[in-house]
Amino acid sequence: MKVNIYYGGRGVIDDPTLYVLKKMESVLVELRVEVHRYNIYEHKNAISTLPQTLKDVDGVILATTVEWLGIGGYMHEFLDACWLYGDKESIASTYMQPVVMSTTYGEREGVLTLENAWEILGGLPCSGLCGYVEDMVSFEMNQEYAHIIEKKAENLYRTISQKSKGLPTSNQAVTQSVQRTQQLELTPQESEQLSRYASNDSYVKKQKEDIEELSNMFRGMMGKESQDQSTEYIMDFQSHFAPQPDFSARYLFMIGGKKKPLFLEVDKDEITCHYGQEENIDVYLKMPQEVMNQLVMGQMTFQRAFSVGDMTAKGNFKTLRMLDEVFTFSRNL
């Protein structure tokens, strides 16, 4: 069994949540559980990559401290990253136990916030732990409190082992509706890539170098069919390019059936088009290959494809609308 702990506090010495986590970790280790703790404040420049650590875990503990209002910015940012970049299939089978300690007010509201967030993500919440601590010394010396904390850790172990189920909730009922409001639907692999792009520029450069190295390695092994596919749509964009004064933009097309996205850059009267990952994208677009075929044949405009839901997009929508001005596919009819 594997359990990850995500601590969203500031890491101060007298934080009661740290004491609670230490007690819970010791119990889980005694039960032969593999435990990994991630202090979110130590990853504040790369929080968007943390959802990748949710893979292959049986349960998680989301722990934070209410110091003045709510669960804190670090935990909020981590949950946002889980929504944007997390593997929803992995989360769906992962149990979550909330742990919220308060030095002011609002520990119960904090637990409810974490439970609601995890249910909307599609995960499985289990009974949490919350409490108010006024004096840290007396809290640590109280053996009854220690016993309660240990029992909560045992409950988490028991819940995961027995794969306990709960009754349906309204949060679960609206999860699919909430997910449909996203402007860009991504596969787990695409989400993982974008989460890294959002947090680490050096990673992007390294990936580009690796992709180029692999491309050179396998280029000689690719047949004529693969070579034709590597240039598909590029000539269409180049031949229908209609430069617009003082207009520049960078687009990334994720086309169904294509292993690599199609990158397109317009810089006034110049155009760059190739398959591969790029950074600093203004608009991400995703569509099935048959929709892309209709677009380049002029059977549908980009604006209409987006409006009817055949194409999803994320980014600057004014820049998205310019596609029909910069490329004259629709004038073929």
pLDDT at 232: 83
Buried b (16+ CB within 10 A) or exposed e, 233-267: beebbeebbeeeeeeebbbbbbbeebeebbbbbbe
Residue (of 254, 286, 250) closest to 270 by Cα position = 250
pLDDT at 227: 46
Task: Please state, as a whole number, how many other Cβ atoms lie within 10 Å of the Cβ of residue 138.
Answer: 10
pLDDT at 77: 95
Pick the CATH number of 2-180 from 1.10.760.10, 3.20.20.70, 3.40.50.360, 3.40.50.300: 3.40.50.360
pLDDT at 225: 45
pLDDT at 181: 43
Per CATH, the number for 231-332 is: 3.30.1050.10
Task: Please state, as a whole number, how many other Cβ atoms lie within 10 Å of the Cβ of residue 153.
Answer: 27
CATH 3.30.1050.10 residue spans of the chain: 231-332
Burial class (CB in 10 A: 0-12, 13-18, 19+), 20: buried
Tokens 């995961």, residue located: 160
CATH 3.40.50.360 residue spans of the chain: 2-180
- Please say whether the beta carbons of 251 and 263 come within 8 A: yes
Q: 168 to each of 4, 115, 122, 124, how far by Cα in Å?
A: 25, 14, 12, 11
* Helix or strand (DSSP H, E) at 266: strand 262-267
Burial class (CB in 10 A: 0-12, 13-18, 19+), 31: middle
How long a stretch of residues is the chain?
333
pLDDT tens across the length of the chain (333 residues) = 999 999 999 999 899 999 999 999 999 999 999 999 999 999 988 899 999 999 899 999 999 999 998 999 999 999 999 999 899 889 999 999 999 999 999 999 999 999 999 999 999 999 999 999 999 999 999 999 999 999 999 999 999 999 888 777 776 665 555 555 454 555 666 665 666 655 566 666 776 777 777 777 666 555 444 444 567 889 989 999 999 888 999 999 999 888 889 999 999 899 999 999 898 999 999 999 999 999 998 888 998 999 888 999 998 888 998 999 999 886 654
